[in-house]
Structure 1
Amino acid sequence: MKETVVFKQHGDIKLCGDLHLPKRINGELRPAVVVVHGGGWAKRAGEMTLICKKLVRAGFVAFNITYRLAPEFRHPSQFDDVNTALDWLFERAGQYGIDPQRISGWGYSAGAHLILLAGLQRAEGSRLSAIVAGGTPADLSRWPNSPLVTGLIGRPMIEAEAEWQAASPLNYVSEHSPAVFLYHGLRDTLVEPEQMHLLADALQEQGARVQTHGSPLFGHIAMYLLGFSAQNQAIKFLQANG
């Protein structure tokens, strides 16, 4: 079953999410995953419906959300929208038969950046139990001349290094970080695989549970479209940690 909800209104803009709900068995509480699309923060290019359907088949509630897009809306607008979606789901966990101790996140590319940026900073009581992130831009400062990141932040790094650092998930890894599954196409030239390794190393140093999957055959888009093995491993990771 799918239910479309408005989780936030910003002026005339309604931010919606699709709640994909598996059949509830004997009133048991179910785990849930907030799913965040990619698209360079500027468009909804990463349709996540297929991942949501896989999650539902595995017994998860999947909340497939939207967010305000750059460059019309600058950081932290997108971060705020993802946080609002997370708050919305936590507050309504009982209504939808969700276990609030088992709410996780999943994103690809810009969506991975946003769910990590939000998920790594959640306060106690509303922390995510796990995060799945694919093709992740973890350290934005590695692309000082990127028009996509400049569009997100609003100024180039040479003028706004503090803002670029503040928008980098890598800088929020801590001893409180949830379990994280990272997957990446090793032929990715848009978001280099080094980003996955940087983040995995930082998480391991803080004692977080982390698992990585690199595909030697895929680049950035192919990993999103065809990374079925990684997706299946990620679901198993969520079942164990989410």
Structure 2
Amino acid sequence: MTPAELLGLIAAPHPDVAPLPPATARPAGVRTLRGVPYGVVEGGRPLELDLWLPGPETGRPAPLVLFAHGGAWRRGRRDDLGVRTRAWQPGPFERIAAAGLAVACVDYRLSGEATFPAPLEDLRAALRWLGLRAGELGVDTGRTVVWGESAGGHLASLLALTHTEPALAGAVIWYGPADLVTPRPPFDPASPATMEALLLGAAPAAVPELAAAASPVRQAHPGAPPFLVVHGEEDVMVPCGHGRELAAALRAAGAPVELRTVPGANHGWVGLPEEGVEEIFTASLEFVRTLC
């Protein structure tokens, strides 16, 4: 047996054909599949996702929420909807699944592993894999809403604005960066040390075409799906102007968008009372349900 033959024998099955792990039952009929590989990157770690699946009572495939986590493109966990939801019982993804929606919480390559557009390509790869395995999972990727917070909101915006096969049904964007070109404190596009520069592989001012391609405000178009943009007015990490300008760009293009700015809210909904965070989550979930 040659080394190549031996490698083919011992290598893990490709995610496209690998058996799915057993589901874990949770309250309200929700099922979870954790750490499911969906992609293989040459020379990198396997890309994985977690699935939260509703009960089979409807007898039809469930609409899908594709979730992209935050962390400044540099860190973060795929199962984290933000600091204010970490102690919820049941957690936010279990709540979404209990409402009849499947949720895929997706890994993507961080800026220490690869630069843009790699993380966006990873979200596309996850959608492709979910479509390939949709029958086994009981999901309908033709009814997919992408939901992202912070850096994940940036990637979710780009996915909703640029993905066409299939087109997404909508997007929920929590305090996501929308413009990687325009200077605004604390962001300096000439600095090679910002999180945006680490994402792009160079200072945005040094790679203006790439920075524009990575800016959702530059990708708005008339055929964009409906957006819900929610941003704290006191955000010191991603100023509220990002949310306002994304909404304005979508409106100017003739695309449907609902903008909610939240008084007293800093990044991650820090500063809001618990009932305020609950209200934002409930409104976001209801927005998704109206699209699916």
- Name the counterpart of 2:129: 88
- Name the counterpart of 1:102: 143
Distance 1:22 1:168 in 2: 34
- Name the counterpart of 2:180: 140
What is the correspondence of 1:14-33 to structure 2 with a 5 Å cutoff?
A: 14-33=46-65
Deviation of residue 207 (structure 1)?
2.5
Deviation of residue 158 (structure 1)?
2.6
- Name the counterpart of 1:203: 250
SS at match of 1:213: strand
- Name the counterpart of 2:286: 236
1:116 to 132, 137, 157: 157
- Give the residue type in structure 2 aligned to 1:93: A
1:149 to 192, 196, 200: 196
Distance 2:58 2:235 in 1: 44
Larger radius of gyration: 2
Higher normalized strand content (fraction of residues): 1
Deviation of residue 88 (structure 1)?
1.5
Give the TM-score taking structure 2 as reference length. 0.78
- Name the counterpart of 1:75: 116
Asked whether the 8 Å contact 2:227–2:258 carries over to 1, the reply is: yes
Deviation by residue 1:12-61 (Cα, 9 ceiling, x = unmatched):
41111001011011412211100010000000157137331221121100
- Give the residue type in structure 2 aligned to 1:193: C
SS at match of 2:128: helix
Asked whether the 8 Å contact 2:51–2:104 carries over to 1, the reply is: yes
Distance 2:110 2:45 in 1: 11
What is the correspondence of 1:164-203 to structure 2 with a 5 Å cutoff?
A: 164-203=211-250
Asked whether the 8 Å contact 1:109–1:136 carries over to 2, the reply is: yes
- Give the residue type in structure 1 aligned to 2:284: A
Distance 1:40 1:26 in 2: 38
More contact order relative to length (CA 8 Å, sep ≥ 6): 1
Asked whether the 8 Å contact 1:41–1:148 carries over to 2, the reply is: yes
RMSD: 1.9
Deviation of residue 81 (structure 1)?
0.6
Deviation of residue 149 (structure 1)?
0.3
Distance 1:171 1:191 in 2: 17
Q: 1:36 to 1:224 in 2, by over 3 A?
A: farther
Q: 1:223 to 1:133 in 2, by over 3 A?
A: farther
Select between 143-152 and 189-198 the one with higher mean Cα deviation.
143-152
Asked whether the 8 Å contact 1:182–1:196 carries over to 2, the reply is: yes
Asked whether the 8 Å contact 1:213–1:230 carries over to 2, the reply is: no
- Name the counterpart of 1:127: 167
Asked whether the 8 Å contact 1:71–1:154 carries over to 2, the reply is: no
- The answer to whether structure 1 residue 2 and structure 2 residue 52 are counterparts is no
Select between 182-191 and 199-208 the one with higher mean Cα deviation.
199-208
Corresponding pairs, count:
241
Q: 1:156 to 1:26 in 2, by over 3 A?
A: closer
- Where does structure 2 lack aligned partners over 5 or more consecutive residues? 1-30
